[in-house]
Chain A
Amino acid sequence: MTSFATSPASVTAAPSAATPAETDDASRDVMIRLEHVSKVYPGTEVPAVAELDLEIPRGEILVLVGPSGCGKSTTLRLINRMIEPSSGRIIFDGEDVTEVNPDLLRRRIGYVIQQVGLFPHHTIAQNIATVPQLLGWDKNTIRARVDELLELTGLDPSIYRDRYPKELSGGQAQRVGVARALGADPDVLLMDEPFGAIDPITRDRLQNEFLRLQSELKKTIVFVTHDIDEAIKMGDRIAILGDQSRIAQFDTPERILAYPVDDFVSDFIGSGSTLKGLNFERVRDIQLADSFAVVEVSATAQETRAAFDASEEKWMLVLDAERRPARWVGSEHLARADFDITRHGVTVRAKVPTNATLHDALEEMLLSNAGQACVVDNQGRFLGILDVERLADVLKRMRAEAKKHYDLLAVENRSQ
């Protein structure tokens, strides 16, 4: 179970609570489970992580996000036992690994850190081969694996195999860091701000490549960041952490954006959260506007005026002979005595395909002077019109659904 049985007023992580009816089955397949894990660093009073319960679903990216110093890195390092928990248990793929040899455990878990930490005196190939070598793979298998991973991460093996880390750019080093973590094909990957110290453009590219990679690899990934936008982009699920790694909210990005459970979460995700939520809805999934008049270019001026008068909208749409959106026509065009449907009107600029996100669509709408966007199919043929009211409806619906979800959880929680 991955959603928390909780009322928005008092949010605590409670995996032992009832599994809500609507939680999908796949998500109950837990790869890593932390049970009441605490960490008090020697010489400190306050725990860095306090009584953390966390379940990480198999094959998903879980993002841990929270303000600096809240214990994200500590939590991550507890999982591969880079630091030993002061109390609690860590269950890895059904096996209690709280007491096993940590070195052997770590060979099963890929680990990527922000500073990358490539071995400067080893070639790229040697770096990537680190864990396979530890595991005693034979030479040819290792060589093939290195080349495979270099290709997978977008680096030409013949160029980069024998280079040293100092001969790489920052972005290339990050890729090698990921390739190295994938070396022995671990099921689990821990990533601590892996794309942190990189310029925004390169970071964006690395994020996209990584998501593409993940869609093939289906690893279980715990991804730490302090950047909520990165969390929203990368996460199948997000855990928003407060001080001492206390979970403020644990849910899908959509639901967190639509319904932040408390002030801490809404402060953390910031003011643009509603707009960010539009990234998760696609044009094809929403009801298009039906209030606009639409005519083909073959229509007469009279038919056009009649259609316009019948609709409430300020604009109507003219399609060309192939049914592609051509021009927006308004009352000032129709009022002209010499109105010519093939010439007059404002050329349609905002056209969005059905697989575009609502965020993309909104951007198009704001850029077009008519204030709405035409939805088109692959051939560019007209499918419908998207306007601001439709978007507002979607936002309202998303919020209502998320609220219902949490209300339901609260009820189930109380009835326990």
Chain B
Amino acid sequence: MRLRSNLALLVTPLLISLGALALWVNYQRADKIFQDRRALDWSRNLRPQLEQHLSITFWATAFTVLIAVPLGIVLTRPRYRRFGGPVLAVATSGQAIPAFGLLVLAFAWLGRGQWTTIWALTLFTLLPVIRNTMVGLDQVDSAVIEAGRGMGLTRRHVLRQIEIPLAVPVILAGIRTALVITVGMATLAFLIGGGGLGATINAGIGLSRDLVLVTGAGLTALVALSVDWLAALIEKALRPRGL
């Protein structure tokens, strides 16, 4: 199990590099018309789009974590536990709205722009993180908590020294899910003026140029893979020893 995941961590960057190479070679060898060159121009289109894509992903995920993890923690405390059900229900229905619909709603409310996308995606990915935070904390062996409390650790000690460290793997898995969703959804950001690699894919469709379409879609996939690989690395680093 451990060996396999280590192997995956090593192989993924290799695959990503190979994919990038393939995209580049494909671009070099293709017959290119003016529109192709223009749409796939690195400094005018691809690089800014890539940056927008990554910044949308980063900020949306960051806000999700900042909101959902504390919320998940609070909702597992005895005093607030009864709100857990309702909050999860709201978060679930939030995720049940099609992403596109959510973007349009956010657009109607907040107007065009990158930040509208970021807030919409934040809202959209709260659920997996809240849920995993709650599940992660709830699955901590009650005997461990009982032992801790019984030795005189305060509630806060138990939360910080025992519950959260032991819930970290599950919480991180939720964050990773959110990250993957966000990277994918960021392709729709261009619809409301948020930019991102979706613009290139869209251009490819609009121009009926396969080269543009494939390059845009391929880049999106590579970004998703890289982000996931990074998340896996972080997960591995933060996982407490002894588990």
Q: Which residues of A contact B (CB under 8 A)?
A: 80, 82, 103-107, 110-111, 113, 115-123, 130-131, 134, 164-166, 177, 180-181, 183, 190
A121 to B148, CA, bound (A): 13
CB neighbours of A80 from chain B (8 A): 150
Judge whether A121 and B150 touch: CB under 8 Å.
no
Interface residue B147 (Cβ < 8 Å from any Cβ of A): yes
Q: Which of B45-53, B68-76, B118-126, B138-146 contacts A (4 or more CB under 8 A)?
A: B138-146
**Apart from the given pairs A106-B151, A113-B150, A180-B151, 17 other A-B contacts in the complex at a CB distance below 8 Å:** A82-B146, A105-B152, A106-B149, A107-B152, A115-B146, A117-B144, A117-B148, A118-B144, A119-B162, A120-B242, A121-B165, A121-B166, A121-B241, A121-B243, A122-B242, A130-B148, A134-B151
Q: Taking the nearest CB of chain A, how far is it from the CB of B231, in angstroms?
A: 21
Contacts known (A120-B166, A121-B165, A121-B242); A103 close to B154, Cβ less than 8 A: yes
Interface of B is mostly: helix
Judge whether B150 and A111 touch: CB under 8 Å.
yes
Return the chain A residue nearest B147 by Cβ. A117
A61 to B145, CA, bound (A): 26
Interface residue B240 (Cβ < 8 Å from any Cβ of A): yes
Contacts known (A121-B243, A122-B242); A131 close to B143, Cβ less than 8 A: no
CB neighbours of A105 from chain B (8 A): 152
CB neighbours of B153 from chain A (8 A): 103, 130, 134
Most buried by B among A82, A130, A181: A130
Q: Taking the nearest CB of chain B, how far is it from the CB of A83, in angstroms?
A: 11
CB neighbours of B145 from chain A (8 A): 117
Q: How many residues of B contact A (CB 8 A)?
A: 22
Contacts known (A134-B153, A165-B242); A118 close to B147, Cβ less than 8 A: yes
A131 to B154, CA, bound (A): 12
8 A-B pairs whose Cβ atoms sit less than 8 Å apart in the complex: A111-B147, A113-B147, A119-B162, A121-B241, A123-B242, A130-B151, A181-B151, A190-B150
CB neighbours of A177 from chain B (8 A): 147
A388 to B161, CA, bound (A): 61
Return the chain A residue nearest B239 by Cβ. A121
Return the chain A residue nearest B150 by Cβ. A111
Most buried by B among A103, A113, A121: A121
Judge whether A131 and B152 touch: CB under 8 Å.
yes
Judge whether B154 and A115 touch: CB under 8 Å.
no
CB neighbours of B166 from chain A (8 A): 120-121
Most buried by B among A119, A122, A131: A119
Q: Which residues of B in the span 208-232 have a Cβ within 8 Å of any Cβ on A? A: none
CB neighbours of B161 from chain A (8 A): 119
Judge whether A103 and B152 touch: CB under 8 Å.
yes
